[in-house]
Chain A
């Protein structure tokens, strides 16, 4: 796509374009997007790590605050759906290699992918704030995890724990959503003008 508009241009004009890059050039925009995406993936991984260090005083595994979703949501709102997807997948892969292990990694991957898809769709609906998007993503995450867990053990008994997990996911999702709301409000306006490629919304 970077070549399409330069193909028909006369050589002189092309050379001039190369010499004085227009600001912001698409390459620069893309580098910025990649940089922000990588930084957010690092933030997501760090949040995952911190959350892994501090176990919640709740005797049911699976109840988490999901603070890593702060970075995923930030990527969704700053760069778009594909970046959010990349940030979350990178985080889960890194966490899997570093501390959660292969099995937990694949398990987390299913919930993570489902959550990002849900958040992209909810954001695209344009009627939800970041809080609603976050709550929906977190509810989709836990529902997907329970569904996969019941498929793995081939027994539906675990679904009895879904209602309480759903309520905890709504609370955690709302907290994360509010944090991201404050974050987006505090970020400089310029950061939102650096999207590259076609808009996903």
Chain B
């Protein structure tokens, strides 16, 4: 049976079923997630390190939080006008700096993680609580 090594048709029926199933799964997931994806003035910024709560800060107050661990993360809450309210990781001493490259977050349910430092920054609360989704 050498046929298995030949490319065959580029797309078969099973491929379409697989892709459709994954797309449906992603859409359901996105719908579930978007329930928390709203902007709220009274939302909180929740920081955990290695699963333990490090601190909860209101999104409405400008603040800079420096988290020390295996590495250092500098988290900035930019407050002011609702349009500029956002949370980002402004600096990190970890080698990859994926957390710094991550887009700023501002909606409920969004998060930034720093894997080397086991840090998670997420926006919780607001009108629709998504705490049920997290641990």
* Residues of chain A whose beta carbon lies under 8 Å from any beta carbon of chain B: 59-62, 77-78, 100-101, 103-104, 107, 122-123, 125-132, 135-136, 139, 149, 152-164, 166-167, 170, 174, 177-178, 181, 184-185, 192-193, 201
Contacts and interface: CB of A to CB of B under 8 A. Distances in A.
Interface residues of B, number: 51
Interface in B111-129: 111, 113-116, 118-120, 122
A154 B118 contact: yes
Contacts of A125: 14
A160 B109 CA distance: 7
Most buried by B among A62, A153, A174, A178: A153
24 contacts: A101-B96, A103-B95, A103-B96, A128-B12, A128-B14, A129-B11, A129-B14, A130-B7, A132-B18, A149-B113, A152-B113, A153-B113, A155-B48, A155-B111, A155-B120, A156-B135, A158-B120, A160-B133, A163-B33, A166-B25, A166-B26, A170-B26, A192-B6, A201-B4
A157 B122 CA distance: 7
B17 to A, nearest CB: 9
Nearest to B30: A163
B5 to A, nearest CB: 4
B113 A192 contact: no
Contacts of B19: 132, 135, 170, 174
Nearest to A148: B115
B48 A153 contact: yes
B10 A178 contact: yes
A127 B19 CA distance: 13
Given A129-B9, A131-B10, A181-B10, A153 B50 contact: yes
Nearest to B112: A158
B48 A154 contact: yes
B63 interface: no
Nearest to A104: B96
A108 to B, nearest CB: 11
B120 A184 contact: no
Interface string B15-37: 10011001101110110010010
A135 B18 contact: yes
Contacts of B120: 153, 155, 157-158
B134 to A, nearest CB: 5
A156 B51 CA distance: 9
B115 A152 contact: yes
A201 B2 CA distance: 11
A192 B22 CA distance: 31
A181 B51 contact: no
Nearest to B109: A160
Contacts of B98: 61-62
B12 A163 contact: no
Given A61-B102, A166-B25, A185 B7 contact: yes
